Amino acid sequence: MKKIVILISIVILAYSCEITSEYMVNQEKCTDCGKCYRACPNDMIDREIYKIEGPDTFFVAKIRTNRCVGCGKCQDACVKNNGVENSAIIEK
């Protein structure tokens, strides 16, 4: 019984200790190049619909900020691919 209580406590603690990212995506600048998706070691970046225009659907990156560990690899990838001026991943 004691082991079960300890196990449940660990699970509750793990879920309550969410890490908040220091990064976000400027969706106006995101070109959906995919570099950040591949760079994230924790698979914390989603691809979401930005807008639909006629038959075309445009996607952008979105960081799952509540689980991001803030390593910055996504920003490095975006800067490397798009340059500092056009980087879509910015610090909050």
Residues that bind ligand SF4 (CB under 6 A): 21, 23, 25, 30-36, 39-40, 42, 44-45, 61, 63, 68-74, 77-78, 81-82, 88-89
Q: Which is nearer to ligand SF4, 42 or 57 (CB)?
A: 42
CB of 1 to ligand SF4, least distance (A): 37
Please return the burial class of 76, using the count of CB atoms within 10 Å of its CB with bins 0-12, 13-18 and 19+.
middle
Nearer to ligand SF4, 7 or 69 (CB): 69
CA pair distance 30, 66, nearest whole angstrom: 20
Residues in a beta bridge with 51? 58
Q: Tokens for 62, please give them.
A: 């979105």
